[in-house]
Structure 1
Amino acid sequence: MENLLGLLRVRIQRGVNLAVRDVTSSDPYVVVKMGKQKLKTRVIKKDVNPVWEEDLTLSISDPNLPIKLTVYDHDLFSPDDKMGDAEFDIKTFIEALKMKLQDLPTGTVVTRLHPSRKNCLAEESCITWNDGKIVQNMCLRLRNVECGEVELQLHWIDLPGCKAL
């Protein structure tokens, strides 16, 4: 890909209070899509508060494309049930990367994003300087479902030979 800017590591940390789809619980997994890319986490059995701590890595060539996240309940004998979805964009994260920050104390907040009708944030999302890297933590409120949130973290990976940001 000639327009590749770098890689975005999306760490799917955990689900909180996810919807019940199998009588008393669910077997959730997360699918992350951006453009033609589609990645998914492992299934966690019988847990509406699953902890994945799983890294999914997207190749970023167009930072204006939104990233869509959908939670599903894994079923053996029928199609998997949807347990809500959320969408986020990485424009603000990319802008923070472009600032070329250096020598800040770890934990310095570079930018704060507030929940609004235009985003799926459940709470304020901070873009912070962490050990020489820009990191963004997000808690997304799932849409099209009665309840549930997904916590994730974004990291940027520069690739040699890619167009620098």
Structure 2
Amino acid sequence: MENLMGLLRIHIHRGINLAIRDVTSSDPYVVVRMGKQKLKTRVVNKNVNPEWNEDLTLSIADPNLPINLSVFDKDIFTLDDKMGDAEFDIKPFIEALKMRLEGLPTGTIITRIKPTRENCLAEESCIVWINGQVVQNMFLRLRNVERGEVELQLQWINIPGSRGL
């Protein structure tokens, strides 16, 4: 516990215009990896615009590690097909948390992160103060595939007894 900073809740909202890997559609699910941790969402059958609305929670000890997100098409008789991947950095999110902001009006934008060649952002990502919490919304453009994006949201969970931020 002493190495743990806290927990990062990743709300995997939805996929947008994902690649077709079966005859007419795909059966997508998302795998999130950070260091040795690996989490995955449920499969949404026959949908290239799936809504997962699932929370995956990672333990954060080293905020310098990137978070990798991969989308796969679930197959029954063969290996699952990869439908693209993305990587994102939580350092700007952690920096916003360290500001110890309190009492801001809900909806206040703390930081804006522009899409660049180095990140997988499809559009500007804002770190926002919402109802007493720091939240980051992202649209990630999938790499190594012809098309597709994943929408997600980051939220921090403090743990009593952890080293904190």
Bin of the TM-score, shorter chain as denominator length? over 0.9
Match of 2:99 in 1: 99
Partner of 2:23: 23
CA distance in 1, matches of 2:80, 2:149: 19
Gaps of 5+ in 2: none
Equivalent residue, structure 1, for 2:120: 120
Q: Aligned partners of 2:2 and 2:70: how far apart in 1?
A: 29
Q: 1:131 is matched with which residue? A: 131
Give TM-score, length-normalised by structure 1: 0.99
Provide the secondary structure at the position in 1 that maps to 2:93. Answer: helix
In structure 2, the partner of 1:52 is 52
In structure 1, how many angstroms separate the alpha carbons of the residues matched to 2:94 and 2:78? 40
CA offsets per residue over residues 11-68 of structure 1, 9 Å max, x none? 0000000000001100000000000000000000000000001000000000000000
Q: Which amino acid aligns with 1:103?
A: G
Q: Deviations over 1:83-140 (max 9, x none)?
A: 0000001000000000000100000000000000010000000000000000000000
Ranges of 4+ aligned residues in structure 1 off by more than 6 Å:
none
Structure 2 matches for 1:75-86, cutoff 5 A? 75-86=75-86
SS in 2 for 1:110: strand
Partner of 1:74: 74
Task: Give the equivalent residue in structure 2 for 1:14.
Answer: 14
| Cross-structure match for 1:145 | 145
Could you tell me the percent identity over the aligned residues?
A: 74
Question: 1:2, CA displacement in angstroms?
Answer: 2.8
RMSD between aligned residues: 0.5
Q: Residue type of the partner of 1:149?
A: E
What's the offset of the Cα at 1:164? 1.9
Aligned residues: 165
2:2–2:161 contact (8 Å) kept in structure 1? no
What does residue 64 of structure 1 align with? Answer: 64
With the length of structure 2 as denominator, give the TM-score of the two structures: 0.99
Task: Name the SS for the 1:93 alignment partner.
Answer: helix
Please give the secondary structure, in 2, of the residue aligned with 1:94: helix
